[in-house]
Amino acid sequence: MSLPNPDDALVALNFGIQIDGVMVEYLQKVEGLVIEQDVIEFSQNSGQGIYTTSKMPGAQKAGQVTVTRGMTDSGAFTEWINDSIQGNMSSARKNATIIMMDYEDNPVKRFNMRNAWCPKVEISPVTAGEASVLTETVTITFEELVIE
C-alpha cells in the first residue's frame, strides 16, 4: 500500500473507519488520533561518581478518538454504541481501524485500535426550522493503537 507518486501526500478528505471489518458510512470528521507512551527517567552515578540521567521508552498509553458522522439508521453502529453505553463489554469491545486512502480510494495507512468501545455519544442540536444535517459525535476509547 503506497501512493503512486512518492512526492504525493495523503489528503484529509479521504478516510474511513471500520468496526470489526464493517465500514461505517457517512463520516464527517475524525480527531484526537494520538499515540503516546510513558517516558522513564533513570538517574544514577557512575563508578567515577559522575551523575548521569537517561530516558527510556515506557508503556504505551491507551487513548481515544472522536468520530463525527451524519446521523443515519445504521443498525450495526447504533448497536455497538448501545452495547458500550449499557455496559455489555463482552460485545462492546471491538477492534476498529481508521483507514487513510489515496485519490483512488486505495487504503494507504491504517490506524488499528484494539478493544475499542464508546463511552460517550453527543447528538448535534435539534432546532425547529433549522435546515441542517443531524450529526452524532462518538468518542471511541481504545487500549492500544498500532499504525500499519
What is the CATH number for 22? 2.30.110
Sign of CA dihedral 137, 141, 142, 148: positive
Q: What is the value of pTM for the model shown?
A: 0.82
pLDDT beyond 60 at 128:
yes
pLDDT band at residue 72 using 50, 70 and 90 as cut-offs: confident
* Average pLDDT of every residue of the chain: 89
Sign of CA dihedral 78, 64, 123, 27: negative
Range of the domain at 141: 15-147
- Counted domains in the chain: 1
**Tens digit of each residue's pLDDT (9 = 90 or more) over 80-91:** 889 999 999 999
Determine the pLDDT at residue 4. 60
| Helix/strand/coil percent split, the chain, to 5 | 10, 50, 40
Q: Are 90 and 115 in contact (CB under 8 A)?
A: no
pLDDT beyond 80 at 93:
yes
Helix ranges restricted to H, the chain? 75-85, 89-92
**Tens digit of each residue's pLDDT (9 = 90 or more) over 7-60:** 677 777 788 899 988 888 778 899 999 989 999 999 999 889 999 999 999 999
**Domain assignment of residue 7, yes or no:** no
Selection from 64-73, 78-87, 114-123 with the highest mean pLDDT? 114-123
**Domain assignment of residue 55, yes or no:** yes
**Domain assignment of residue 5, yes or no:** no
In this structure, are strands 63-70 and 37-45 parallel, antiparallel, or unpaired?
Answer: unpaired
Average pLDDT over residues 102-107: 84
Number of Cβ within a 10 Å radius of residue 113: 25
